[in-house]
């Protein structure tokens, strides 16, 4: 969970090197529009978006639109949680070296349910995000 929380922090998002250390070489993301983004697109987009993060992301970590450029989709997909940060984050080990995280965020009044797969390759010391998807929650 620490890696997921780190990706919400402005100082991490400003650093291409820190982002690269957290994203798996085969990373992919599916945006709210259904568009697909790869690791290169996220490495380019995330450093330009630290301002989307609210006050919750300033605390230390404890553990779209169709046709839009990746950074616009990433803004919709990777925004911060509300002032309390991501809500209800849980993790389940699916297999050795593969963990599924789920949680909810609120950004600009829009709720999203998020799902990430983190994997640690055999012999690798660190976990890396392999897949991420954010799904908008319809207003009641």
Residues 84-139: tens digit of each pLDDT: 578 999 999 999 999 999 999 887 788 889 999 999 999 998 999 999 999 999 98
The answer to whether the beta carbons of residues 116 and 123 sit under 8 Å apart is no
Q: How many domains does the chain have?
A: 1
Residue 61's pLDDT is 37
Q: Give how far the C-alpha of residue 47 lies from the chain's centroid of Cα atoms, to the nearest Å.
A: 13
CA distances from 108 to 53, 73, 76, 113, 138 (A): 10, 14, 9, 14, 14
52-77 confidence digits (pLDDT tens): 444 444 443 333 333 333 433 443 34
The reported pTM is: 0.75
CATH number, domain of 129, equals 3.10.450.50
Domain that holds residue 107: 2-136
Closest among 73, 87, 8, 82 to 42, alpha carbons compared: 73
- Residue 50: per-residue pLDDT: 52
């Amino acid at each position: 969970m620490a890696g997921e929380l780190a990706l919400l922090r402005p100082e991490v998002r400003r650093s291409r090197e820190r982002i690269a250390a957290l994203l798996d070489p085969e990373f992919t993301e599916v945006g709210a529009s259904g568009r697909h983004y790869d690791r290169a697109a996220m490495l380019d987009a995330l450093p330009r978006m630290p301002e989307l993060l609210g006050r919750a992301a300033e605390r230390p970590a404890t553990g779209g639109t169709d046709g839009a450029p990746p950074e616009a989709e990433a803004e919709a997909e990777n925004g911060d949680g509300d002032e309390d940060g991501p809500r209800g984050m849980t993790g389940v080990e699916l297999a050795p070296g593969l963990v599924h995280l789920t949680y909810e965020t609120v950004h600009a009044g829009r709720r999203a349910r998020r799902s990430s797969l983190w994997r640690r390759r055999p012999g690798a010391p660190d976990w890396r995000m392999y897949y991420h998807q954010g799904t908008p929650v319809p207003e009641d």
